[in-house]
Every structure is written in C-alpha cells, then in structure tokens.
Structure 1
Amino acid sequence: MNRIFRRFVVLVLLAITLASGVIYLTFRLLFGDPLEGIARRQSAGQIFLLEQYIDQAPADEWLPRLNRVREVSHTTLELQPLPAVLASLPLDRREALRRGEVVMDVADKAFYRRVDTSGMRYIGSEQDVIHVRRLPIDIGEALQMEAIRLVVIALFLLVPIGWWTRGHWRGLQALSKVADDFGQGDLAARARVDQSASIAPLAARINDMAERIGALLESRKHLLHSVSHELRTPIARLEFGLELLGERHADEDPALQRRVEAMQADVGELKALVNELLELTRIDAVQSMPQQAFALAPLLRGCALPPSAFDFSTTIADDLGEVCGDKRLLERAVNNLLGNAAKYARSRVTLHATRHTREMQLNIVIEDDGPGIPPEARTQVFEPFYRLSREQDHAAGGYGLGLAIAAQAVRLHGGVISIDTSPLGGARFTIHIPLNRC
C-alpha cells in the first residue's frame, strides 16, 4: 500500500504543481501578471493617496502637498526624469507609463507614475515621474496563502485516494498470496475479494484460471499414477515369462538366450521408468512432510558415485548442523544430481557443502567438467521428461525424471536448486536449503 500511495502522492503533487504553473501563465497571458495584481492591491492605499489627495490639489499646492505626504508617510516618494525611468523599464511597461498609468515594480516594492502628461502641475511636470518605494508589498505572504490553498486541495484529494488505495492494495495482496500459494502447490488456493471491490472481476478470472489449471494438474497426476500402476502388472508378467523362457531354452539356442537377455534389459528399463513415475507422482502429491531433524554432514558423506574412472572429491563443512525434513527425500535429491553429473562429466565431479549463517541457509554444490547446460534451458531441465537435443544427452540415456524429482524433493524442504556454469567447465547445481528448526 505504501508504494502505491506514495506514487499517487507524487503524481497528485506534480499535477497540482503543473496546473499551478499553467494557470499562472494563462492568467498572465490573458489578464496580466497575477503577482502584479497582488502587489497593486497591497499598494492600493498609497495609490489612492496619490490619486485622491495629492492629484486633487490645485496646481500651486501640488508640490507642497506632496512634501507633506513625504513627511508623514513610511514610503519614499521621489521625482525622477521620465527618460531615465523609461530606459530602466521593460519595453512592455514603457507605453503604459507614457499614458500616465501606474506601473508596478514588484521586485523593488515600488511603482512609477508620471506627474501628468500636460505640464499643468508645474513647469516641466510632464517630464517628471513619481517613484514611490518601500511599499507594503509582501508577495511571500500571498504565495504562502496560495501554497496553503494548494496543500488543502491536495489533502482533500489524497484522503479519498488513500482510502481507495488501502482497499485496492488489500485486494492485490490477496491475489498475490493466492498466486504464491498456487505456485507452491496449493491447488485449492483461491482469491476471496469483496464483490464491490475494484479488482473483483480480475479475482474472478484468476479463480477461474486456478480452477482450470488445478483440474488439469490433478488429471495429469491421476493419469501418471494410474498408468504407472497399470503398467506394473504386465511388466511383472513379462519378467516372469522371459525368466521361464530363458530357463527352458538357455542350452538349446544361444541366440535366443541373447535375445531374451536383451528383452529382460528392456523390461528392466521400463520397470525403472515406472518406478520413477510413481516416485514423481508421490512427491507431487505431498504438500507437507513430517518434520524430523537429521544431521546433514553424514548424509552427504554417504552419497558417493559408484566406482568409476571419475575423480570424485567432496568438501563438507563440519558445522552444517541439522536439517528438518525427510532424510530419504533429500538423499534422493543429492544422489540424483550426482548421477546426472556422472552422466555428463568427462573426468571430474565435486561436491561441496557449506553453511551460511548470515544468509540463514545451507548450500550444497555439485559440479562436473562436462558440456554444461545452456542458460536458456536451465529452467526447463527440471520439467518431467525434458531432455536437451544434444548428442551427449541421447547417449547418456535416462528418462528426464531425475532432475524433476530432485527439484520437488528440495522444494518440500523449503529450498530451491539453481544452475550456473562451473569453473570446471560443466554445470554447477546448487541446492539452497533454509536453516529451519523443527
């Protein structure tokens, strides 16, 4: 709410400031400078004294009356030659002074006016100008009053805007929470917004979208689960039949035996695929898991690659402490990532684990010196059955489920897996797990 309201405040203040500038320029163009009008009103007493007292004196009394006003007035009245005054005035004011009008000088708190235009006051009076200075002009006060007026207007605008923003922000927070909960796997999350709210139509559409997505995801889960279960029975029959066939004809036909063994390998791959599917659907269906504390360092030390030509090294800190969650699931995630690294590594795989107390998380880093993963595919590789269209990926085998299972297992522990480029040249998978207490 604060962010939206602050933006509204800035926009309203900018709009009022811009409107004030446009109004000032418009009034100045159509009716003259508004500041000059304020100064003229504040100097109305001195102008009235000049026009109604001094100018009303007979010709021979005009100068004595001017002197008497000088003695009692707080202002300064001087006579200056017309050419000098005209030279000091802007071009747009000179003609008004020639006509005998009062010309204001707001900056100097003064005004000019010719004594007369006919020389009737005294000899040469048409060439003299009365310069009245030290007038009681206070433009600052007028500007303060205008500023207060604008502030009052802004407050009366911002109060209803703030009230509207508060309700609008609450609705947006509700939608944001629904999006977060839905993204974390809570398919029952829905936005509950008052029907009179401005975002009610948007909330209804989000709820409809959530219903459709939830239905599709549930259908997908049920389909995978059902297909996986249904496949186990014919796979078991195939295994049994191939076993009998191999036992009966092993000595009669070696070629047949080789074919049976190849078929048994294929059935074994199909069985492994079904087991992976069942594991994935089981993890997908889990919204929460029993929170049990277990030591992380022994778990990681127990994770190792099978004997091979790879150089496998580990660096596990002693202060990792305990993690809350499911030990078997987290072990499965680490082993899946190690197995993935072993598929693509040329000669080296490493595992590092550190504890970052300031960031309140544990980092488990698995690296290899293989071909790596392109940046554009680093999100997609966690999707089930996704495989890169590279020769190394087809040669490595697999079903595209290992990384999906690892990502889901880490998610259940409140963590995430990130991918970047390893200094070894291949891919670097980093498991970030928050330090939570059971």
Structure 2
Amino acid sequence: MNRIFFRFFVLVMLSITAATFVIYLAISQLFGDPVEDIARRQAAAPIVLLQDYVDRAGPDEWLTRLNKARETSPVRYDLIDLDEARQAVPVGTLAELERGDVVIVPATRTLYRRVDLNGERYIGSEHDVLRATNLPIDLAVALQKEIVRFVIVALALLVPIALWSRSHWQGLQVLSRVADEFGAGQLDARAHMQPSASIYPLAERINHMADRIANLLQSQKNLLHSVSHELRTPIARLEFGLELLSAKAADPALEKRIKAMEGDVAELNDLVNELLGMARLDSAQSLQLAPFTLGPMLRDCVQALPPSPHTLGCALGDELGSVEADRRLLGRAISNLLRNAQKYAGQRIVLSAARTEAGRVEIAIEDDGPGIPAEDRARIFEPFYRLDRSRDRATGGFGLGLSIAQKAVVLHGGTLQIDESPTLGGARFIIALPPERVL
C-alpha cells in the first residue's frame, strides 16, 4: 500500500519538475531567456549610463564621456575588435551584436555593444565594440528567487494532493486490514466508512462480497454439520442390526459377509468423523494456543502410529525448543502425514525437524515410495482427491487427511509444501511454522 503512494508522490514530483522545464522553454521561445532578462535588469545602471550619457555626446565628446564613465563607475569599459567580440558572445546573440544591440553574457558578467555601425563616432569605430566587464550581476540571488517560486508552486500543488491522497490512503489501509482479517477467518470483518469517503462505493462492494462469502461458508458449514450428524443415527442403527445379525448367523459365508458390511459401516463412521473434523477447522479462533516442547510431541505422534512393516527414523534437532500452537491440532496434522507415508512408502519413513536461520521451525516427513508427480501437487490437498482411484480399497482413507493437515498448518500461519525427497526418492512433506510461533 505504501508503495502505491510512494510511486504516486514520485510521479507528482517528476511531473512538477517536467512542467517547470517546459514552462522555462516556452517562455524562452516566446519572450526570451528569463536568465538574460534578470541579468539585464541587474545591469540596468551601466546600460543607462552608456545610452543616456555616453551615447548622447557628439562625435568629438564621445570618447571623453566614455573616459569619465571609466573613472566614476566600478564597471570596466574597454574597446575591442569586432572579430574578438564575435568569438566572445554566444552564437544565438550574434545577430543582436551585428544590429548594434546590447548583448549581455550573464556567466561572465559582461556586456557587449558595437560603438557605431557607420563609423560616425570616430574614424574606424564601425569595427570597434564596447565591452563592459564586472557588471553588478548576481545570478545566485536570482536563482534563489526562482527556486523559492518553484517551492511555493510545488507546495501549493502538493498540499492539496497530499490531503486528497491521505484520505485515500487511510481508506485503503482499512480495506487492507479487513481483507487480512477476512482471509484469516474472521468472517464478520467489515469496512466501516463514512458515505462521504472517496472510496466508500468500493468499501460497500467489498462488504457485500464479504457478506455473500460468509453466508455461503456458513451454509456449507451448516450443511456439513447437519448431514454428518444425521448420518450418525442410521449408522448407529446399522451397527446395532449387524451385531444382532452376526450373533444369530450360523453360516460362515453369511458371517463373512456380515463382517464385510461391518467394515463398510465403520468406514462410513470414520468418514463422518473426518467431515466433522473438517467443519471445525473454520478459523484461527478455533485454535487453543499454548506453549509446549516440540520434540516430545513429535515422538508422541510416532508412538501413536499403528503397527507397520516400515522402518521409521527420527532426526530431530537438538535445539527445537518450544512453540506456541494448538498441540492437538498440530499433532493431528503430523499424524495424518505420517499415516499417509505409511500407506505409500516402500520400506523407510523419516521424520525430521530443525530450526532455520530465519527463526522458523521446519518439520519434514519423507518416504521411499513412488512420490507425487509435480502436476498433481497443487491438487493433492483438495478434499476427497486421490492420485490412484484403483487403490482406494487397498490404501484406505477418504482423501481428507492431507486436506485436514494443510488447514491445520495454515491456521497456525504456516505452510505445507510437497517436494521430492533428496535421500529416499519418494514424497517429502515440509511443515514450516512462522517465527512468531517459535519460542
């Protein structure tokens, strides 16, 4: 947000600077160089002395009055050849010099003017030029005045622009804060602004959008809750009926079929529990944050795994320390990833954790299984998504474990990424907890 207004400020300053140069060039083309005009005003006294005193003398007295002006004026007057003067004045002022006009060079504080175009002052005067040096020209003062004018104009433009931008900036800050809160799960976050605010229409549209999203999410959550709870009753009836039927069954084939049906009912019951678990992960407000030591929690997750033929190794850093998180929810995310590794690993699974130089804690679960193709890694966390549908019965699960793990990590402000294991060759899941969660 600050970057937008910084760029806007830079654009305004560049526009004012460009406008100043354009105005200067336009005035120079239409009315002459402003700097030369300032120098001419400052050198007005020597010019008046030359035109009203020296030039008004007759041909016999012209040099006499020029010498008197030399004696009384701090300006130094010299007579130089016309060719020398042509080399001294700027190219753009040669025409003025040839016409007999006064030519001022502000950089050298010098004045040039031909003595006479026709040689009437004295013999050979048409080839002479009067040069006056040490003129009372001080461009520094003039430039300071121009700078002051520029600053005043710039302030006159910047102050209203700053006031106008400030109201926009404050409004955008409000919208940015609302977006962050809404994205963090606070679905009641709204932008409250006065109708007179410049971005009030945008805030209203964002509020309407937030209302609709909140209603849709609430409807989805209510539907998920309702369906999950309603399913519990018929599932319980099926379990009770199957138990009665199993007690009376004498045929081994029928008893085997009943066992299969009980497995299907248990699978439905697990699915309902997973759906209810997904529904509870709605916002960070559901977290029960408390500090705990990370190492023992990771070892508890390993010990709670069901028996498997895989070799599970732990590589935990010596200085993991403590984190402030929801121990149950974070432990479930890690357990889901470990169970997922048990389903697809060949022989080995490795759980590792360490602190990074940036202050984060990274927890990695990797295996030597077939891995996850790069094109499927973006969808692997979608609910009910599985890479190989033909292995649903063999591997079990409903495609919710990874989705629950990702939601749990995101609620803690962390990230869950998928990569290829550099040592085992299979999949590698990396949980990164932000520094604010690390104690």
TM-score, normalisation: structure 2: 0.89
Partner of 1:381: 380
Aligned-residue offset at 1:326: 3.6
Range moving further from structure 2, 50-59 or 153-162:
153-162
Which residue of 253, 270, 273 corresponds with 1:272?
270
Relative to 1, partners in 2 of residues 1:432 and 1:189: Cα closer, same or farther, differing over 3 Å? same
Aligned-residue offset at 1:11: 2.4
Aligned-residue offset at 1:23: 1.1
Secondary structure of the residue aligned to 1:107 is helix
Aligned-residue offset at 1:205: 0.6
Partner of 1:410: 409
Partner of 1:427: 428
| AA at the equivalent of 1:419 | I
Secondary structure of the residue aligned to 1:45 is helix
Partner of 2:138: 138
Kept in 1, the 8 Å contact 2:382–2:403? The answer is: yes
Range moving further from structure 2, 318-327 or 277-286:
318-327
> Is 1:248 aligned to residue 248 of structure 2?
yes
Partner of 1:153: 153
Partner of 2:365: 366
Aligned-residue offset at 1:236: 2.2
**Aligned counterparts of 1:423 and 1:106: Cα–Cα separation in 2:** 75
| CA deviations over 1:319-340 (Å, ceiling 9, x no partner) | 4344444432222111011112
Kept in 2, the 8 Å contact 1:417–1:432? The answer is: no
Aligned-residue offset at 1:10: 2.2
Aligned-residue offset at 1:398: 2.7
Relative to 1, partners in 2 of residues 1:269 and 1:136: Cα closer, same or farther, differing over 3 Å? same
Aligned-residue offset at 1:87: 4.3
| AA at the equivalent of 1:429 | I
Aligned-residue offset at 1:238: 2.5
> Is 1:233 aligned to residue 238 of structure 2?
no
Range moving further from structure 2, 115-124 or 282-291:
282-291
Secondary structure of the residue aligned to 1:111 is strand
> Is 1:400 aligned to residue 396 of structure 2?
no
Secondary structure of the residue aligned to 2:286 is coil
Partner of 1:315: 315
Kept in 2, the 8 Å contact 1:344–1:392? The answer is: no
| CA deviations over 1:373-406 (Å, ceiling 9, x no partner) | 4566555433433444787789745322112222
Partner of 1:263: 261
**Aligned counterparts of 1:409 and 1:339: Cα–Cα separation in 2:** 16
**Aligned counterparts of 1:37 and 1:240: Cα–Cα separation in 2:** 107
| AA at the equivalent of 1:382 | F
Range moving further from structure 2, 277-286 or 399-408:
277-286
Aligned-residue offset at 1:96: 1.8
Relative to 1, partners in 2 of residues 1:31 and 1:376: Cα closer, same or farther, differing over 3 Å? farther
Aligned-residue offset at 1:366: 1.7
Kept in 1, the 8 Å contact 2:109–2:136? The answer is: yes
Range moving further from structure 2, 127-136 or 300-309:
300-309
Give the alignment's Cα RMSD to 1 decimal: 2.8
Partner of 1:79: 79
Relative to 1, partners in 2 of residues 1:72 and 1:344: Cα closer, same or farther, differing over 3 Å? farther
Relative to 1, partners in 2 of residues 1:351 and 1:135: Cα closer, same or farther, differing over 3 Å? same
Partner of 2:296: 298
**Aligned counterparts of 1:80 and 1:40: Cα–Cα separation in 2:** 21
Q: What does 1:199-214 align with in structure 2 at a 5 Å threshold? A: 199-214=199-214
Aligned-residue offset at 1:9: 3.4
Secondary structure of the residue aligned to 1:381 is coil
Kept in 2, the 8 Å contact 1:368–1:428? The answer is: no
Range moving further from structure 2, 174-183 or 201-210:
174-183
**Aligned counterparts of 1:86 and 1:225: Cα–Cα separation in 2:** 97
Partner of 2:168: 168
**Aligned counterparts of 1:248 and 1:224: Cα–Cα separation in 2:** 36
Range moving further from structure 2, 312-321 or 225-234:
312-321
Identical pairs, percent: 55
Unaligned runs of 5+ residues in structure 1 are: none
**Aligned counterparts of 2:389 and 2:88: Cα–Cα separation in 1:** 85
Kept in 1, the 8 Å contact 2:325–2:437? The answer is: no
Unaligned runs of 5+ residues in structure 2 are: none
> Is 1:21 aligned to residue 32 of structure 2?
no
Range moving further from structure 2, 323-332 or 285-294:
285-294
**Aligned counterparts of 1:362 and 1:141: Cα–Cα separation in 2:** 63
Secondary structure of the residue aligned to 2:74 is coil
Relative to 1, partners in 2 of residues 1:342 and 1:233: Cα closer, same or farther, differing over 3 Å? same
Relative to 1, partners in 2 of residues 1:144 and 1:131: Cα closer, same or farther, differing over 3 Å? same
Secondary structure of the residue aligned to 1:332 is helix
**Aligned counterparts of 2:354 and 2:430: Cα–Cα separation in 1:** 14
| AA at the equivalent of 1:236 | A
Partner of 1:334: 334
Relative to 1, partners in 2 of residues 1:261 and 1:288: Cα closer, same or farther, differing over 3 Å? closer
Relative to 1, partners in 2 of residues 1:165 and 1:394: Cα closer, same or farther, differing over 3 Å? farther
Partner of 1:47: 47
Relative to 1, partners in 2 of residues 1:325 and 1:94: Cα closer, same or farther, differing over 3 Å? closer
- Tell me the number of residue pairs that the alignment of Structure 1 and Structure 2 aligns: 435
Kept in 2, the 8 Å contact 1:39–1:139? The answer is: yes
Kept in 2, the 8 Å contact 1:371–1:427? The answer is: no
Aligned-residue offset at 1:104: 1.9
